[in-house]
Amino acid sequence: MPFSFTITNRDRSTKARTGTLKTPHGEIATPCFMPCGTKATVKTFTNDELKELGCEIILGNTYHLMLRPGANLVAEMGGLHKWINWDRPMLTDSGGFQVFSLKGLRKITEEGVTFKSHIDGSTHFLSPEEAIGIQEKLGADIMMAFDECPPHDADKEYTRKSMERTHRWLARCQKAQTRKDQTLFPIIQGGLHLDLREESAKACLDADPFGIAIGGVAVGEGKEEMWRVTDFVAPLLPESKPHYLMGIGEPDDLVRGVAAGIDMFDCVIPTRLARHGCFWNIDGVRTAIDKPEFAKDQNPLSSKCSCYACKNHSRSYIKHLMREKEILGARLLSIHNVNYLMQLMSEIRLSIANNTFTSLYDRFFKKSR
Amino acid sequence: MPFSFTITNRDRSTKARTGTLKTPHGEIATPCFMPCGTKATVKTFTNDELKELGCEIILGNTYHLMLRPGANLVAEMGGLHKWINWDRPMLTDSGGFQVFSLKGLRKITEEGVTFKSHIDGSTHFLSPEEAIGIQEKLGADIMMAFDECPPHDADKEYTRKSMERTHRWLARCQKAQTRKDQTLFPIIQGGLHLDLREESAKACLDADPFGIAIGGVAVGEGKEEMWRVTDFVAPLLPESKPHYLMGIGEPDDLVRGVAAGIDMFDCVIPTRLARHGCFWNIDGVRTAIDKPEFAKDQNPLSSKCSCYACKNHSRSYIKHLMREKEILGARLLSIHNVNYLMQLMSEIRLSIANNTFTSLYDRFFKKSR
């Protein structure tokens, strides 16, 4: 099997650990943050720029890519890696999360989900077999199982039914997989119900996957609930497997997730914040570039940051660029934000190796732990 | 005087020549194409990317910058060079061209022009003194005189009156200039009337400028008329001064302009075309990336191009990016298009030095000369 996961360091006081995740397209140092290349591009970036920031793995999005340009086209072009010219590891989601977000535009049966495209209203069908078929055509190193992510406020009965179907779908996903150079992560569901979460973790682990994901978090339930669930589920996962917490990306959440034993994170937040004119300051606090006091501020976005934006440009200039809707503004803020998370993960890995992770943690949570 | 212009090579059969234009911020090899940084950024580019393409001088736009962020803010930030962190030569236009494009929103008197901002309708005033005052605050190496650019279909009487006022305004611009580290180019007007053009060239040269510009071309008069005027005016200009043909940027026009003895060109066309999904192919022909046959085309935009886009990405991928309105698409096409013009100018300079400019010219004009 062309995948392996080796734990290299363990923190003494938390569940944090560092590791090396080997894939057919290279190694990933964990814990890691994975920027989202939703439509086969991490918004505003070239691949070289991502590499310069230390990015070792990016995501692609099954739902968006199956609609445009279509999985067959990507396959004809040699797969996602070749088509976008990214030679490092990739992960594709299963499309489940997006499809289930299309409320009113989809119909769920045991077989799969019929849905209408948000682009042109055309009808499409996703099932475990289709989701794996598409992900095999895309060819990312890591595929995700086709799951249902129910609304966080669904009743327990629905959440249970949905979860059980997700487990049956997992078996169908595994059966549908034909390629040996890709690995398939199951996704733990169960909403805010800890007994369901425990049941789901067990069902996913029974499938003996290489790695495992916690899904259905950060879907509107609030941070407290999210952490109640994640702090409960994470310890149920075997130490030997990579643990992926889906859709998480605020700086403090990354730190907290690592403390809970999470190895992989993804989120659109760094580039989305950037396009909306926000950046993380030196304390990891969201800051809007359109503040009046930035108009004549010759300082960089963040005083200790070494990203291209901070080394070359002032808040004054970047504020102007964003006001004028200039692409360079979104680029500079995106570089800063992705770099912020990449540097944070690098610092986290180093602190775990040096056994100073606790003080890094305390910097974010002010000893409130 | 911190400016000099030295002719280094002359073509034997045309008026083409190479030269070195020295400014306080460095030297420019001529003939050169100057990308437009209208709102203090060449759209989609970082400064480093422009330098990598061999760009030695960029433009800034007085009209846009006086409205936002305002010349005083730029001056407080240390001037345009420091504010945008560009350490090579710059040129600012006078705002005249934009202001006179605001038909119905402006009133012209001998004193100057009162106009309403296209952004918020607020009232502003530009005069020769104001235009120079603003350009001194911006601090570009080369300033342009405040001129009126009348519509190409204005009657001769209006065109004459406008031209004569432009000449009076030139004298006021020169009188208003206080900084010694900037040079001021007058702009020859006179519409499509060769006798007026001759008169205007004489008036501008009587002011004894370091360099001189031909304005009021490429304003809707059509290529034939544009070249009738330019081919008439260019030979009237002293060989010793740099000649700037304003607003010109299609590949064939650059070649033809060089043959007429032009040393400097500017145009928004390479980045504007890019944002509209167009690129120059290997023959310098505009090509739309949204052609159906590009969907599965694994070739680069142009087979012999060495730009970042062509070295790393296929037409198939770039077509997808543009269809999805992804910023990377506009970036890649902009890189390709600006590189195309930079490479063309470099090739032109080399051909003049090697006395092979005629064959380059014939490549564009198929011996129809």
What are the tens digits of pLDDT across the range B199-251? 999 999 999 999 999 999 999 999 999 999 999 999 999 999 999 999 999 99
Per-residue pLDDT for chain A (369 aa), expressed as one digit of tens each?
799 999 999 999 999 999 999 999 999 999 999 999 999 999 999 999 999 999 999 999 999 999 999 999 999 999 999 999 999 999 999 999 999 888 888 999 999 999 999 999 999 999 999 999 999 999 999 999 999 999 999 999 999 999 999 999 999 999 999 999 999 999 999 999 999 999 999 999 999 999 999 999 999 999 999 999 999 999 999 999 999 999 999 999 999 999 999 999 999 999 999 999 999 999 899 999 999 999 999 999 999 999 999 999 999 999 999 999 999 999 999 999 999 999 999 999 999 999 999 999 999 997 543
Same domain, A112 and A252: yes
The predicted pLDDT at position A1 comes to: 73
Q: In CATH, what number is assigned to the domain containing residue B35?
A: 3.20.20.105
- DSSP letter (8 states) at residue A185: E
Same domain, A84 and A162: yes
In a domain, B53, yes or no: yes
pTM comes to 0.98
Same domain, A251 and A292: no
Contact between chains at B331 and A327 (C-beta distance less than 8 A): yes
In which order are the strands placed within the sheet that holds A17-23?
Answer: A4-10, A17-23, A26-30
Instruction: Measure in Å the smallest separation between the Cα of A188 and chain B Cα atoms.
Output: 32
Q: Which residue of A has its CA nearest to B328?
A: A44
Residues of the domain holding A327: 275-335
The predicted pLDDT at position A368 comes to: 46
In a domain, A324, yes or no: yes
State which of A271, A303, A321 marks the end of a domain: A271
Number of domains chain B is built from: 1
Same domain, A317 and A227: no
Task: Give CA–CA dist B31/B52, Å, rounded.
Answer: 18
Same domain, A280 and A300: yes
Same domain, A326 and A214: no
In a domain, A178, yes or no: yes
The predicted pLDDT at position A293 comes to: 98
In which order are the strands placed within the sheet that holds A90-92?
Answer: A183-185, A142-144, A90-92, A58-60, A32-37, A264-267, A243-245, A212-214, A187-188
Contact between chains at B313 and A44 (C-beta distance less than 8 A): no
pLDDT-flagged residues of chain B (< 50): 368-369
Is B193 an 8 Å CB contact of chain A? Answer: no
Is B39 an 8 Å CB contact of chain A? Answer: yes
Residue of A41, A83, A323 to mutate for B, most B C-beta atoms under 10 A: A41
Q: Chain B, 85-104: which have a CB under 8 Å from a chain A CB? A: 85
Q: Which residue of B has its CA nearest to A75?
A: B296
The predicted pLDDT at position B102 comes to: 86
Same domain, A282 and A213: no
State which of A247, A271, A295 marks the end of a domain: A271
In a domain, B263, yes or no: yes
In a domain, A318, yes or no: yes
Give the catalytic positions of B in this structure: 93, 266
In which order are the strands placed within the sheet that holds A106-108?
Answer: A106-108, A113-116, A123-126
In a domain, B179, yes or no: yes
Same domain, A261 and A289: no
Per-residue model confidence as pLDDT tens digits over A249-278: 999 999 999 999 999 999 999 999 999 999
In a domain, B243, yes or no: yes
The predicted pLDDT at position B369 comes to: 39
Is A317 an 8 Å CB contact of chain B? Answer: yes
Same domain, A102 and A178: yes
Same domain, A244 and A318: no
Q: Name every chain A residue with its beta carbon within 8 A of the beta carbon of B43.
A: 326-328
In a domain, B13, yes or no: no
Is A73 an 8 Å CB contact of chain B? Answer: yes
Q: Name every chain A residue with its beta carbon within 8 A of the beta carbon of B327.
A: 43-44, 327, 330-331
Which of A354, A351, A349 shows the shortest CA–CA distance to A18? A349
Is B119 an 8 Å CB contact of chain A? Answer: no
